[in-house]
Chain A
Amino acid sequence: NAGVTQTPKFQVLKTGQSMTLQCAQDMNHEYMSWYRQDPGMGLRLIHYSVGAGITDQGEVPNGYNVSRSTTEDFPLRLLSAAPSQTSVYFCASSQSLAAPREQYFGPGTRLTVT
Chain B
Amino acid sequence: AQKITQTQPGMFVQEKEAVTLDCTYDTSDPSYGLFWYKQPSSGEMIFLIYQGSYDQQNATEGRYSLNFQKARKSANLVISASQLGDSAMYFCAMRGTAGNMLTFGGGTRLMVKP
The residues of A with any CB-CB pair to B shorter than 8 Å are 31, 33, 35, 40-45, 48, 50, 56, 58-59, 88, 90, 92, 94, 96-97, 100-101, 103, 105, 107-108, 110
A103 in contact with B35 given A48-B99, A56-B99 (CB within 8 Å): yes
* Chain A-chain B contacts (Cβ-Cβ < 8 Å), number: 65
- Minimal beta-carbon separation of A70 from chain B (angstroms): 18
* B33 engages A105 (CB within 8 Å): no
A107 in contact with B43 given A41-B106, A42-B104, A100-B50 (CB within 8 Å): yes
- Minimal beta-carbon separation of A65 from chain B (angstroms): 18
The reply to whether the CB of B12 lies closer than 8 angstroms to some CB of chain A is no
> Which one, B52, B99, B106, contacts A50 given CB within 8 A?
B99
> Which one, A31, A58, A88, A108, contacts B100 given CB within 8 A?
A31
Instruction: For the A-B complex with A103-B100, A105-B44 known, give 16 more contacts whose Cβ atoms are closer than 8 Å.
Output: A33-B99, A33-B101, A41-B106, A41-B107, A42-B6, A42-B105, A42-B107, A43-B45, A48-B99, A100-B33, A100-B95, A101-B50, A103-B95, A107-B43, A107-B44, A108-B44
Q: Please report the total number of B residues contacting A with Cβ < 8 Å.
A: 23
* A42 engages B106 (CB within 8 Å): yes
B93 to chain A: which residues have CB within 8 Å?
42-43
* A45 engages B103 (CB within 8 Å): yes
